Structure 1
Amino acid sequence: MSEILPEPVWRAREAAHRTRVAAWTEPHLRRRAGNEAHPVIDFLFTYYSHRPARLLRWHPGPGVVLAGEAARERLAWRGYVETSDGVTLDPAEFTDARRRTAEFVRALLLATAGREPRLACFGLHEWAMVYRLGPEQVRHSARRLRLGSAGTDQVVETQSIRCSHYDAYRFFTADAVPLNTLRPTREEQVANEQPGCLHVGMDLYKWAYKLDPFVPSELIADCFALAAEIREMDMRASPYDLAELGYAPIRVETPAGRAEYAAMQAEFARRGAPLRRRLVDVCDALLARSGGPDRAD
């Protein structure tokens, strides 16, 4: 049975979502118009493929009907259909390809949730991405390295690199690759990912928008908000000097810095768990509505 939202109710939710998301999208769009870049926050709009305009759009999610004449405006958007009660997501748009995506996302998230967080990587993936590179070759070349090139290389060479996330590992320099104790691959992603990984926490945003518009926009925004905080921590622990932007370093080259990093990592793993569960629940609802088996993990 569908939930019917009166127009004042869904209009209020839509406005609240747009206001919340605009706090992130508007500064990014201003920077982009001025040909400027922010080395921390803009990552969420450049590495991830969800456009600001799509993030701003509010969708109620599956099983919700929007009542009122204004809802008919959504018929110009792909993915909506009119019923006798109002406008709702078109089940026909949940294609076989989307179903396969939902099945993969569900399997990945459940596998990740079933593992204990591992908290000993200390964010050294960012250091491995600049290992033995010249100053002009590093990704954020406008920002100096806190310890300089030689000091950064020494950290990589004297610490144990334990990156389990393929999409971080694939950006390691050629010289850093053999220093990693693991060899993550795309094919083994479901088997490797664990909730302590900062990139796994950020990727909750990716798995949410991959199923847009079939994921409630509030959930996508919640995942984005967590990703923004994680990204800040990720770059504070990086080798870059971002003090002039207001980011105090987490000095993972020291025992105290590593302890600080692990504590924050554990907290983000805790906060990511309910978002992961909510995404699994959405996948279950979508798969059930598309005629799949009833799943109760």
Structure 2
Amino acid sequence: MPTRAGTAPAALPAPVWRARQAAHEARVDAWLAGHRARRAEGRRHPVEDFLFTYYSHRPAQLRRWHPGAGVVLGGADPAAWGGDYAAVPGGAALDAAGVLARRGASAAWIRDLLAATAARPAHLGCFGMHEWAMVYRQAQGEVRHEAWPLRLGPEGTAAVVDAATIRCSHFDAYRFFTEAARPRNALTPTRQAQRALEQPGCLHANMDLYKWSYKLSPLVPGELVADCFALAREIRVLDMRASPYDLRALGYAPVPVETPAGRAAYAAAQRDFAARAAGLRDRLIAAVDAAAAAAQP
């Protein structure tokens, strides 16, 4: 499996890759413990459980470590790693050519989306109004997280939306807007326009780096998937602290984006997330390119 540059793939001795695998599993297990306990008890958490319920990647899949493309796992049995792996001199390696033969179009689409997003300046003026638009003109019993009260009540929430300028560019947030809220958005995001609209300041675009990382698996290292998940967890906290829901009983102090101070705090956190997401986005693009190189004969 030489790379395009003619160099041999990286070789990981068994003690090295086993240590990386164990560290990844321990890291993920710490995230899974609370979710599994709540699921066993039939309880829901609007912040901590979101990444396991909204996204399609199952906990067991997140826990499974992969080295990525162009890596030989010393002494490994390819049968233990699944059908995407093949025997190579010294151990087992991902068959990047086989994976890309089946999923190359999807990988290319994701790479193009990531590159297009990275090329745009970050817009930091949305102030989390997407979450408010998702409950706009709804009664308490109609909202998505009906077990949690609206901090300002339905009328107070609607008044904030009425006074705001909403410019949501993310289709998978916009599609959850209420019918009454959709005409208030300055944009009309669609799946077809996703590459043209997504921008690196968007909380949901940055949370979705987790989605793109697992959709690219096993072409990307497990540590990168976990890093994207870790950032998405932090972003979800801000997303819900700035939402109209009152989650103080869960220990989340509100970021009151209906006030100048709250908007300033939100934008500062958003700027930090955008910077951190940029590094992950670059790593994902590099991983796709590395997989393409490893797939070359």
TM-score (norm 2): 0.95
Alignment check: 8 A CA contact 2:118 2:199 kept: yes
1:3 is aligned with what amino acid? A
- Counting only pairs closer than 5 Å after superposition, residues 224-239 of structure 1 correspond to structure 2 as 224-239=229-244
* Alignment root-mean-square deviation, CA: 1.3
Alignment check: 8 A CA contact 1:75 1:82 kept: no
Q: Which structure exhibits the higher relative contact order, with contacts defined as CA atoms closer than 8 Å and separated by 6 or more residues?
A: 2
* SS, match of residue 208 in structure 2: helix
Instruction: Give the aligned partner of residue 225 of structure 2.
Output: 220
Alignment check: 8 A CA contact 1:75 1:81 kept: no
2:11 is aligned with what amino acid? I
Please give the per-residue CA displacement for 1:51-95, whole angstroms capped at 9, x wherever unaligned: 000000110000111112xx2275352311112210111235314
Instruction: Give the aligned partner of residue 152 of structure 2.
Output: 147
1:133 is aligned with what amino acid? Q
1:62 to 36, 44, 69: 69
Which segments of 5 or more consecutive residues in structure 1 lack a partner in the other structure?
293-297
Instruction: Give the aligned partner of residue 5 of structure 2.
Output: none
Determine the C-alpha separation between the residues in 2 that align with 1:140 and 1:41: 13
Identity in percent: 60
1:287 is aligned with what amino acid? A
CA gap of 1:75–1:81, structure 2 versus 1, over 3 A, is farther
Deviates more, 1:90-99 or 1:131-140: 90-99
2:166 to 157, 161, 165: 161
Q: Does 1:16 align with 2:23?
A: yes
* SS, match of residue 145 in structure 2: coil
Instruction: Give the aligned partner of residue 203 of structure 1.
Output: 208
Q: Does 1:287 align with 2:280?
A: no
Please give the per-residue CA displacement for 1:143-168, whole angstroms capped at 9, x wherever unaligned: 00000011001111111111010000
* SS, match of residue 243 in structure 2: coil
CA gap of 1:142–1:123, structure 2 versus 1, over 3 A, is same
Q: Does 1:107 align with 2:146?
A: no
2:36 is aligned with what amino acid? L
Please give the per-residue CA displacement for 1:215-269, whole angstroms capped at 9, x wherever unaligned: 1000000000000000000000000000011111000001110111111101100
2:57 is aligned with what amino acid? H
Task: Provide the aligned length of Structure 1 versus Structure 2.
Answer: 290
Instruction: Give the aligned partner of residue 93 of structure 1.
Output: 98
Determine the C-alpha separation between the residues in 1 that align with 2:15 and 2:272: 37
Determine the C-alpha separation between the residues in 2 that align with 1:95 and 1:270: 30
Which segments of 5 or more consecutive residues in structure 2 lack a partner in the other structure?
1-7
Determine the C-alpha separation between the residues in 2 that align with 1:238 and 1:176: 15
Q: CA shift at 1:27, angstroms?
A: 1.4
Instruction: Give the aligned partner of residue 190 of structure 1.
Output: 195
Instruction: Give the aligned partner of residue 133 of structure 2.
Output: 128
Please give the per-residue CA displacement for 1:78-124, whole angstroms capped at 9, x wherever unaligned: 31111221011123531434111111111111111111100000000
Alignment check: 8 A CA contact 2:78 2:91 kept: no
Alignment check: 8 A CA contact 1:128 1:176 kept: yes
Determine the C-alpha separation between the residues in 1 that align with 2:98 and 2:216: 11
Q: CA shift at 1:190, angstroms?
A: 0.5
CA gap of 1:291–1:88, structure 2 versus 1, over 3 A, is closer
1:45 is aligned with what amino acid? F
Instruction: Give the aligned partner of residue 295 of structure 1.
Output: none
TM-score (norm 1): 0.95
Determine the C-alpha separation between the residues in 1 that align with 2:70 and 2:245: 46
Q: CA shift at 1:132, angstroms?
A: 0.8
Alignment check: 8 A CA contact 2:74 2:91 kept: yes
Please give the per-residue CA displacement for 1:144-195, whole angstroms capped at 9, x wherever unaligned: 0000011001111111111010000000000000011111111010000000
